[in-house]
């Protein structure tokens, strides 16, 4: 499923359900409406993140999936996609994401005396590496439930990676050529009489 379909089914479905609950009337979108195009607008503004949170997600996404021979997460605008999805999520999920961003900033301030987005890139990489690989050789393979930093890192990485691999850039990076995977659905080609049971194939004779 590409980002356009995921966006429509996840975001628009949730937004429509929310609108219906408030007004008693389902939200109506015009035929051919593609909300994913709004992510590419030059005047795009976050609806869930504040400016600092948005910038933090941009930096995190660029460090986790950087541009190489193909576009990375920053170029794929994963921050915008995540922002739109979280705006339609439950309060619990929203707060969970905010908590992870706050943890990253708080620990960066303790260690480097500044917010994560403002410390040098070398320190950003060093810090994320510590969160991604918290174990020493003596504790390798043990559960990380007692390491909140690792859990927060994994939560953010999961959101960023899923947003990226559902994007056009992400799918092309793993070989998608832009064509529809299943073509146009034409329905069953059998005549109606087969479905109604009026036409049955003859049974083979038993010898």
Q: Domain boundaries in the chain? A: 41-174
Position 101 confidence tier, pLDDT thresholds 50, 70, 90: very high
- This prediction has a pTM of 0.68
pLDDT digit string (tens) for 112-165? 999 999 999 999 999 999 999 876 544 555 555 567 899 999 999 999 999 988
Three-state helix/strand/coil letters over the chain:
CCHHHHHHHHHHHHHHHHHHHHHCCCCCCCCCCCHHHHHHCCCCCCCCCCHHHHHHHHHHHHHHCCCCCCCCCCCCCHHHHHHHHHHCCCHHHHHHHHHHHHHHHHHHHHHHCCCHHHCCHHHHHHHHHHHHCCCCHHHCCCCCCCCHHHHHHHHHHHHHHHHHHCCHHHHHHCCCCCCCCCCCCCCCCCCHHHHHCCCCCCCCCCC
């Amino acid at each position: 499923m590409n980002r356009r379909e995921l966006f429509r089914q996840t975001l628009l479905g949730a937004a429509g359900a929310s609108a219906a609950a408030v007004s008693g009337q389902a939200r109506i979108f015009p035929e051919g409406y593609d909300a994913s195009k709004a992510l590419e607008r030059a005047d795009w503004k976050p609806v869930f993140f504040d400016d600092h949170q948005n910038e933090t997600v941009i930096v995190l996404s660029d460090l986790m999936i950087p541009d190489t021979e193909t576009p990375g997460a920053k170029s794929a605008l994963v921050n915008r996609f995540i922002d739109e999805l979280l705006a339609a999520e439950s309060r619990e999920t929203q707060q969970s994401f905010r908590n992870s961003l706050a943890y990253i900033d708080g620990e960066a301030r303790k260690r480097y005396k500044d917010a994560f987005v403002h410390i040098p890139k070398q320190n950003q990489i060093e810090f994320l590496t510590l969160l991604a690989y918290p174990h020493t050789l003596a504790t390798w393979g043990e559960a990380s439930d007692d390491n909140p930093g690792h859990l927060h890192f994994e939560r953010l990485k999961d959101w960023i990676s899923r947003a990226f691999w559902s994007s056009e850039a992400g799918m092309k990076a793993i070989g998608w050529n832009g064509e529809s995977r299943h073509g146009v659905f034409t329905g069953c080609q059998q005549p109606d009489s087969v479905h109604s049971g009026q036409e049955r194939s003859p049974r083979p004779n038993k010898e």
